[in-house]
Amino acid sequence: MSDSQTCVLFALEDGIARIVLNRPDQLNAITVGMHQRLAEILDEIEACADLRVVLLTGAGRGFCAGQDLGERPVEQEGPLDLGESIEQRYNPLIRRLARLPVPLVCAVNGVAAGAGAALALMGDMVIAAQSASFILSFARIGLMPDCGMSWLLPRLIGQPRALGMAMTGERITAARAQEWGMIWQCAPDEDFIEHVDALVSSLAAAPTQGIMAARDAIRQSWARDFDAQLDIERDGQRRLGHTQDYREGVSAFRQKRRPQFRGC
Ligand code: LHQ
């Protein structure tokens, strides 16, 4: 397989799409080739009819160290348009991840820096190994947070902490990220994979329509007032009441058995 294929690994099985950033020697720093491969993978994911969950993780000791700095010939003379790279590659990637029709789980196996931290926090559920950490390393190289971080981070952890991370580039451990509400869970390194598998399996077996309606309503609540949100909930329940999974959930409860949700 060529580098352009192996830089991101992909497998789709039993409704679970597993994406593994795979340049471990560079802590999975993102190259143009990785963007291209990720775009192909997302094409495949978006076309999959029986998808239930997407998992994004990294190979080796890092999750993702952000933009590959080896790709940026800053020593050369002439203008360097970082905005172009964001417009052409990063923003489309982030938008596609944000609009996935199924839950995105980010399993942060190691350090997540710069755009890598942003990728990690795009997960609807983020689980991090105890030895993992989050760094807004933009601050260390004269840049500002991108990939939606300046929007998302203050909403997750509040302005003082978001500003602290953005202005110091300080490393935030997984345990502190959990304490701050930045991520769902910090899990022990020894059985991190088991924790990730359990989370992914439970989401793959969940009533997909219901949990996605919950995700969308919670996300959109930032832009709505309380009354508008009540209306959204009413409309969502009306729609979900017609799903097979709702019938199955109630039947299973009444019959004292485990529900078999099909995601429709
Ligand atoms: C790397 C990288 C890397 C290449 C580690 N590139 N090789 C978006 C769009 C447009 C423009 C600009 O920016 C953006 C957004 C961004 O993402 S900007 C932020 C870019 N990322 C960074 O600034 C992080 C740079 N990396 C680090 O600060 C450290 O590597 C961290 C703190 C992540 C990890 O530190 P250590 O655990 O001490 O590992 P290390 O530094 O020894 O790295 C291991 C190897 O990985 C090393 O290679 P080597 O051949 O010496 O073993 C690094 O050169 C390589 N590597 N990050 N971003």
pLDDT in tens, 219-236: 999 999 999 999 999 999
Q: Which of 222, 216, 226, 196 is nearest to 106 (CA)?
A: 196
Please report the beta strands in 73-140, taking only residues with DSSP state E, as ranges in sequence order.
104-108, 111-113, 125-129, 133-135
β-strands 16-21, 8-13 pairing: antiparallel
Asked if the model's pLDDT at residue 2 lies above 70, the reply is no
108 C-alpha to ligand 1 centroid (Å): 16
φ/ψ of 55, rounded to 5, equals -115, 130
Pick the residue whose CA is nearest to atom 19 on ligand 1: 114
> Measured from the CA of 70, which atom of ligand 1 is nearest?
4
Q: Is 134 in the pocket of ligand 1 (CB under 6 A)?
A: no
This prediction's pTM: 0.97
Q: Is 82 in the pocket of ligand 1 (CB under 6 A)?
A: yes
> Measured from the CA of 61, which atom of ligand 1 is nearest?
37
Residue 209: pLDDT band (50, 70, 90) is very high
At residue 1, the pLDDT reads: 62
Q: Is 57 in the pocket of ligand 1 (CB under 6 A)?
A: no
Number of H helices and E strands in the chain, helices first, is 12, 10
Q: Is 93 in the pocket of ligand 1 (CB under 6 A)?
A: no
Residue 77: pLDDT band (50, 70, 90) is low
Q: Is 143 in the pocket of ligand 1 (CB under 6 A)?
A: yes
Token duo for residue 194:
């088991």
